[in-house]
Structure 1
Amino acid sequence: MTDIDRPRPLTTVLGPVRAPLALAVLLQALASAAGVGVLIAMVQIGDRLLSPAAPGRVWPIALAGMAAALTAVLLSTAANVVTHLTDSALQLRLRRALADRLSRVPLTWYAQRGSGQVKKVVHDDVQAMHYLVAHTVLDVTTVVVAPLVAVAYLASVAWWLALVCLLPLAVGLGLFRWAMAGAGPKMAAYGQAAREINSAAVEFVDGIAVLKTFGQAGVAHRRFRQAAEAFSDFFARWAAGTTGVTTASQLVVTAPVVLLIVLSVGVPAAVAGQLAPSALVAFVLLAPAVAAPAAGIGSRVQAIRTGLGAAAEVAALIDHEDGQAGAGSGRPDGTSIRFTGVGFSYDGTHRVLDDLDLELHPGTVTALVGPSGAGKSTVARLIAGLHRPTAGQVSIGGVAVQELDPAALHRTIGFVLQDVILLRASVAKNIALARPDADHAEIEAAARAAYIHDRIVAEPAGYDAVVGVDVSFSGGEAQRISIARALLADPPVLVLDEATAYADPHAEAAIQRALSALAAGRTLLVIAHRLASVRAADQILVLDQGRVVEQGRHHELLALDGRYARMWQAQETRRPTPASLAQESA
C-alpha cells in the first residue's frame, strides 16, 4: 500500500462513527446559529428602543430572542451528549479492534515494542482521542457557523465594516495554522518519547524485585529518570517554540481586541455620519461573535495535537500488516505437519532456523531435543502460527499455516508452553479456557488426567477457587493445569514445549503416561530437555544451530554414538538413583 493509497489516521479511526458525528455537527451548527440569533434579537430591540424612526413592539423580538437562547442551550447540550456517547462507543470499538489486531500480530512485534508501548496505544492513546471526538468537532463547527451567521447579518448593515470584523479571525486562524505547522513529525517524536517513558516505567515496576535482589535498582531508576527527563526536555522545547504563537492566536480574537479594531474604524465613521449609531451598536454586540469562538480552539492546541498524534498511533496499529500466520480460510486435510526449507530470524540477521526439513506423521510422537538456543521452541511457535517463517513453508494437513482459517488453526493445535500464564479467574475457567462450554465432569476428568485434581480439591473452594486470590500454584502445578487445559481442548495436534520442565520425577512419569494415551490418533510434538522422558517417542529429532543433525528412535540414536548419545550419557551420569530419591523423600 502506497502512502497515497493509505487512509489518513482520522479516516481510519473516525470512519465507523461518521453518522453520529454528522448529527452532532448539525445540532451544534443550529445551536451556534441560534446563539448568534440571540445577539441579533438584542440588536433589533436596541434599534427599536433607541431609534425614534423605527418604533415598534419589542416583546415579540424579546420572546424570539429568549426562544433562540433556549434553543441554543438545548441543541448544544444535545450535541455534547451525542459526541460524548459517540466517544464512549468509539473507545470501546477501538479497543476491541486493537485487541483483535494484537491477537494476530506475531510475537516479534511485541518483542520489538515492549508492554509499555502496547499499553500506551491501547489505553493512553485511545483515551487521548477523547478531546478530538467529544469537543473539537463541536468547537470547529462553532468556529465556522457562528462567524458566517454573524458576518452575514453585519454585511446587511455595513458590508465594509463586516470585512473589518473578519480581520481578527483571519489573523487568529493564520497564527493557529502556523502553530500547528510541522506538527506531524513533532507528534511522531512526542509519541516516541511517550512510548519510551511508558516502557521505562513498566520495566521499573515489573523488574524491581529482581533488580533489588542483585543491587541493580539504581539502574532501572536511572533509565526511568533519563526517559522522564528526555520527555520533559522534548515537551519544553516544543512548547517554547509555539507558546508565543499560540498565545498571540488566542489574544487577537478576544473580545477587547476585536472591539478595539471595530471601534477604531466604526466610531470615526459614525461621527462622520457614514454609519448610524444603531448600526455601530450592532457591531459592538456581534463583532466578538465573529472571532471569539476561535479562542476556544487556540487554548486547546496541545490537546488537539495530542489527540491527532494518538489517532495516528491507533490507526497505525489497526492498519498494521501483521504477517501473522493463520489469516486465510483454508482447512487442514489431516494432521500431518511438514517443514520444507524453513528459515527463521527474529532480528532479520541471525537465523535461528536454517533450511529446516522435517515431518511429523499423524498418530505419532515426535520428540525435539537439542542444546539451548538450537531453535526448538521456535519450531513449536511456527507450528502454532505465532510466527511466520522468513523462508520456506510450514504446513498442517497439506495447507500452509498462514493460509489456514484462524479458528481451524486454533481447533487443530493444543499448545503447552514452558512458562504458563494462568488468568485471574476460577481454576475451572482456567482449565476450560479453550472450551468454555465444558461441564464440570469434563473439567475434572482433564484435571485428573493431568494429575492436578487432588491439589485443586485440597483448596476450600476447589474448582471455584480464583487463581491469584484464593489459591497460588507452583510452577509445576501451573504446568499441570496447562496440560489439563490442552487435554480438555482435545486437539488433533498437541505441542508440548518443555511441558514437564517443573515436574518432579514422580509427577513427570505420571504425566508422560497421560500424554502417551492422549497421543493415540494424534500428531504429538514434545520438546524436552530430559531425554529420559521422550525415549519411547516414535522419532527423535536432534536440533542444533537451526538444523536437524540426527534423527531416529532412541535405540537407533544411541547406536549412532553421536550427539544424542553424548547428551544421553551426560544426563544419565547426573540422573538421581533410587537410593538418592528415597533419601530425598525422607
Structure 2
Amino acid sequence: MILIRPVRGRLITGIACQALAALAGVVPFVAVAEVGRALLSGGPWWHHVMLGVAALPVRVVLLTAATTLTHLADNDLQLHLRRKLAAHLGRLPLGWFSARGSGAVKRAVHDDVAALHHLVAHSLLDLVTAVVVPVASMLYLLAIDPLMTVITLLPLGAGLLLHARAMRDVTARMAEYHQATQRLDNAVVEFVHGIAVVKAFGQTGKAHRRFRDAARSYGEFVTGWAEQVTPSLTRSQLAQAPLVSLLVVLTAGTALIGAGLLTPVDLIPFVVLGIGLSAPALAISYSVQDLRAGRAATGRIEDLLATPPLPEPAHAPEVPLGPARVELDSVRFRYDDDAEVLHGIDLVLEPGTVTALVGPSGSGKSTLAALVARFDDVTEGAVRINGVDIRDLPSAQLYRWIGFVLQDVRLLRTTVLDNIRLARPDADFDEVVRVARAARIHDRISELPDGYLTVLGDDVRLSGGEEQRVSIARALLADTPVLVLDEATAFADAESEAAIQEAISELADGRTVLVIAHRLSTVVDADQIVVLDGGVVMERGKHTELLAAGGRYAALWAVHA
C-alpha cells in the first residue's frame, strides 16, 4: 500500500520482532513435549526446561518492541494522512463538496483513517503470529511423525475450507456494506441538520422517510449477509475447536499406536501442540478481514487524494481591489459526465449593482451563482472580473474579490470572535464589533455568557437567523467587492427576517451583488432581474419592465408574489 510508505520501515521492523516473538512463544510448548518424551524414555530433560524458561522473557521483550513500533507507526501515519487529506480537501473545488454528502467526507477523513489503526497497529502483528506459530509447530511435528502430522491438520483444513466457502463473495459484499453505511451516514447528517426546519414546516414524516429507508436498507443488508454466512462460519469454528482437535489426535494416535505405526512417546508432542494449531488459524480469518477492510479504506482514501484539485495559475496578474465588473461570456457547464445544465449564458454585472437570479427549481440559478464564486470551473466560456478570467487568479486572491453568504450556514465549534474573524484572522476586536453591529448581531452576542469569547456549540447554540447574521458579519469583515448571496431569509421568522434584511442591505451597499431569489418580493428593487429556465436566460430587466412584458417573470410573480 502506497499510503503506508512513510512508516514502512518501522512496520517491517515490528513485524520481524513479532515473528521472532511468535517463535519464542512456541519454544515452551516444544520444551514441555520434549520433557515428557525424555521422562518416558529416561533421557536428560533439564536443558529442555531451561530453554523453555529462557524463551519467555525473550518473547515479552520482542512483543513489547513490536507493539511499540507499530503503534508509533500508526500514530504518525494517522497524523500524516489527516494532514494530507485536509490539505487536499482545501484545494478541491467547493462544488465537489456540494455534490457529496458530508457523511462521505467524514467517512474518508475520520472513519477510513481510523480503520487503518487496527490494520497497522494490530492486524499485521496478529497475522504474523497466526502464520508463524502453526508453521513452526507443523515443522516440529513433521520431524516427529509425518503421518500423524497430516491427521492432526485435518480439522484445520476442514475449518479453512468451510470458512473460505462463507467468505467467497466477501469483496463484493464489503463494497455493498460500505455503500449502505455511506447512505446511512448521509441520511443521518441531513436529518440532524434539517430537523428544525422540517418540524417548523410540518414535514416531519416526509423528511424522516429517507432516514428510515436508509436505516431499513442497512439493517436488511446486514441481516441478510449474517444469515448467509453464519451457518458456514459456525461449522468452520466447530471443526477447528480445540476439543475436536484433541479428539482427532487421541483417536488417530491410539489407532496408530495399536497398529505399531506410532510410539506412545511420540504422541505427546501432538497432544501438546496439535490442539493449538487451530487457534492461530482462526485468528488468520479475522486478520484477513481486517486486511480487506484496511484495503477498502485505503482505496477510498487514495480515490479522494486522486480527485483533481482546483487548478491554480502559475503566474497570477496583480489586480488592485476596487469596483468590480463581472462578466459571464458564453458560459456552459456540465457536472462530470451528466447532461449540460447551463447553455451559453451571457451576463454582465455592473459595479455597484444588484442582479437577481429567478426561475423555477432546477433552472440553473445555484449552478450559475456557484460558477461566479468558482465553486466549479466552467465547461466552456469564461467568468471574468474587470476583464481577468477568474481561473487566472489564485484562490487566496479570488476570495479577496468574491464573498458569499449562503442559506446553509456553517459555524465552527469555536468562539464567536473567531467565527467572525475567519474572513480576516488579523482583524482587531474593534473591527469585529463594528461588523457585528452592522449585521444586527452585536446585542445578541453581548448577551452570551462570555460575549464574543463564547464557544458556539459548547456554551450556547444560536438560532438559524442569528447564525445567518454571524455569517453576514463575517462577509462584512471580508469586505469583498463582489457578493454572491443565496437568499438568507427563506426559513427565518418575521423578527429574524427583518434583522437579516437590514444586515443584507448594509452588506450589499456599494458592492456588485448576485442574489439567488427564492421570494420574488425580496428583489423587486434589483437593478437587473434575470429569469433562468432550463439553463437558458429567458428574460432580463427590471421588475416593472418584466411585469409589463407579460412573460415568464410575470407568470412567476402571479404564482409566488
Match of 1:176 in 2: 163
Please point out which of 48, 55, 67 is paired with 2:44.
55
* CA distance 1:143–1:397, shift in 2 (3 Å): farther
Please point out which of 125, 143, 168 is paired with 1:156.
143
In the TM superposition, residue 382 of structure 1 has moved relative to its aligned partner by 1.3
In the TM superposition, residue 354 of structure 1 has moved relative to its aligned partner by 1.8
Tell me, in whole angstroms, the C-alpha distance in 1 between the residues paired with 2:175 and 2:357: 44
Match of 2:12 in 1: 22
Q: Do residues 353 (structure 1) and 342 (structure 2) align?
A: yes
- Which amino acid is the alignment partner of residue 294 of structure 1? A
Q: Do residues 433 (structure 1) and 422 (structure 2) align?
A: yes
Match of 1:331 in 2: 316
Tell me, in whole angstroms, the C-alpha distance in 2 between the residues paired with 1:402 and 1:251: 64
SS class of match (2:358): coil
Q: Do residues 248 (structure 1) and 235 (structure 2) align?
A: yes
* CA distance 1:212–1:41, shift in 2 (3 Å): same
Please point out which of 275, 299, 302 is paired with 1:288.
275
Match of 1:464 in 2: 453
Tell me, in whole angstroms, the C-alpha distance in 1 between the residues paired with 2:384 and 2:164: 54
Tell me, in whole angstroms, the C-alpha distance in 1 between the residues paired with 2:449 and 2:221: 55
Tell me, in whole angstroms, the C-alpha distance in 2 between the residues paired with 1:323 and 1:263: 63
Tell me, in whole angstroms, the C-alpha distance in 1 between the residues paired with 2:314 and 2:20: 49
* CA distance 1:12–1:389, shift in 2 (3 Å): farther
User: Structure 1, residues 268-310: CA drift from partner, whole Å, max 9, x if none?
Assistant: 4445555444333223222234443102344x48xx6477357
Deviates more, 1:497-506 or 1:189-198: 497-506
Match of 1:135 in 2: 122
Name stretches of at least 5 consecutive residues in structure 1 with no aligned partner: 1-10, 575-586
SS class of match (2:145): helix
- Which amino acid is the alignment partner of residue 484 of structure 1? A
SS class of match (2:342): strand
* CA distance 1:307–1:123, shift in 2 (3 Å): farther
- The 8 Å contact of residues 333 and 398 in structure 1, kept in 2 or not, is answered as no
* CA distance 1:108–1:484, shift in 2 (3 Å): closer
Correspondences of 1:168-567 after superposition (within 5 Å): 168-208=155-195, 217-219=204-206, 224-271=211-258, 274-298=261-285, 300=286, 305=289, 308-309=292-293, 311-312=295-296, 315-316=299-300, 318-320=302-304, 322=307, 325-326=310-311, 329=314, 331-334=316-319, 337-345=326-334, 352-359=341-348, 364-373=351-360, 375-395=364-384, 401=390, 405-448=394-437, 450=439, 452-453=441-442, 456-457=445-446, 461-467=450-456, 478-491=467-480, 493-498=482-487, 512=505, 515-516=508-509, 519=511, 524-527=512-515, 529=517, 530-531=522-523, 534-535=526-527, 540=528, 542-545=530-533, 546-548=535-537
Tell me, in whole angstroms, the C-alpha distance in 2 between the residues paired with 1:487 and 1:218: 39
TM-score w.r.t. the length of structure 2 is 0.79
Tell me, in whole angstroms, the C-alpha distance in 1 between the residues paired with 2:101 and 2:552: 40
Tell me, in whole angstroms, the C-alpha distance in 2 between the residues paired with 1:360 and 1:206: 34
Tell me, in whole angstroms, the C-alpha distance in 2 between the residues paired with 1:516 and 1:505: 17
- The 8 Å contact of residues 340 and 357 in structure 1, kept in 2 or not, is answered as yes
- Which amino acid is the alignment partner of residue 316 of structure 1? R
SS class of match (1:181): coil
- The 8 Å contact of residues 36 and 289 in structure 1, kept in 2 or not, is answered as no
TM-score w.r.t. the length of structure 1 is 0.76
SS class of match (2:244): helix
User: Structure 1, residues 442-480: CA drift from partner, whole Å, max 9, x if none?
Assistant: 323443555654554465633223445666656665444
SS class of match (1:319): helix
Match of 1:114 in 2: 101
- The 8 Å contact of residues 329 and 404 in structure 1, kept in 2 or not, is answered as no
- The 8 Å contact of residues 451 and 511 in structure 1, kept in 2 or not, is answered as no
- The 8 Å contact of residues 136 and 297 in structure 1, kept in 2 or not, is answered as no
- The 8 Å contact of residues 38 and 66 in structure 1, kept in 2 or not, is answered as yes
In the TM superposition, residue 370 of structure 1 has moved relative to its aligned partner by 3.7
In the TM superposition, residue 368 of structure 1 has moved relative to its aligned partner by 1.9
- Which amino acid is the alignment partner of residue 331 of structure 1? A
Tell me, in whole angstroms, the C-alpha distance in 2 between the residues paired with 1:432 and 1:169: 64
Name stretches of at least 5 consecutive residues in structure 2 with no aligned partner: none
- The 8 Å contact of residues 20 and 83 in structure 1, kept in 2 or not, is answered as yes
* CA distance 1:216–1:112, shift in 2 (3 Å): same
- Which amino acid is the alignment partner of residue 292 of structure 1? A
- Which amino acid is the alignment partner of residue 316 of structure 2? R
* CA distance 1:194–1:533, shift in 2 (3 Å): same
In the TM superposition, residue 367 of structure 1 has moved relative to its aligned partner by 2.7
SS class of match (2:344): strand
User: Structure 1, residues 330-362: CA drift from partner, whole Å, max 9, x if none?
Assistant: 53543765433222356976755321123557x
Tell me, in whole angstroms, the C-alpha distance in 2 between the residues paired with 1:506 and 1:238: 54
* CA distance 1:250–1:83, shift in 2 (3 Å): farther
SS class of match (1:369): strand
Please point out which of 54, 62, 71 is paired with 1:75.
62
In the TM superposition, residue 68 of structure 1 has moved relative to its aligned partner by 1.0
- The 8 Å contact of residues 417 and 497 in structure 1, kept in 2 or not, is answered as yes
In the TM superposition, residue 312 of structure 1 has moved relative to its aligned partner by 2.1
| Count of paired positions | 541
- The 8 Å contact of residues 367 and 528 in structure 1, kept in 2 or not, is answered as no
In the TM superposition, residue 33 of structure 1 has moved relative to its aligned partner by 0.3
* CA distance 1:252–1:242, shift in 2 (3 Å): same
Tell me, in whole angstroms, the C-alpha distance in 2 between the residues paired with 1:319 and 1:512: 43
Please point out which of 26, 29, 32 is paired with 1:42.
32
* CA distance 1:276–1:395, shift in 2 (3 Å): farther
In the TM superposition, residue 140 of structure 1 has moved relative to its aligned partner by 1.4
Deviates more, 1:171-180 or 1:103-112: 103-112
Deviates more, 1:142-151 or 1:248-257: 248-257
* CA distance 1:489–1:277, shift in 2 (3 Å): same
- Which amino acid is the alignment partner of residue 342 of structure 2? L
Tell me, in whole angstroms, the C-alpha distance in 2 between the residues paired with 1:347 and 1:193: 23
- Which amino acid is the alignment partner of residue 257 of structure 1? V
SS class of match (2:300): helix
- The 8 Å contact of residues 333 and 399 in structure 1, kept in 2 or not, is answered as no
* CA distance 1:474–1:407, shift in 2 (3 Å): same
Tell me, in whole angstroms, the C-alpha distance in 1 between the residues paired with 2:179 and 2:553: 50
SS class of match (1:195): helix
* CA distance 1:332–1:310, shift in 2 (3 Å): farther
User: Structure 1, residues 17-57: CA drift from partner, whole Å, max 9, x if none?
Assistant: 433432332222111100111112223322333322x336x
What is the aligned-residue RMSD (CA, Å)? 4.3
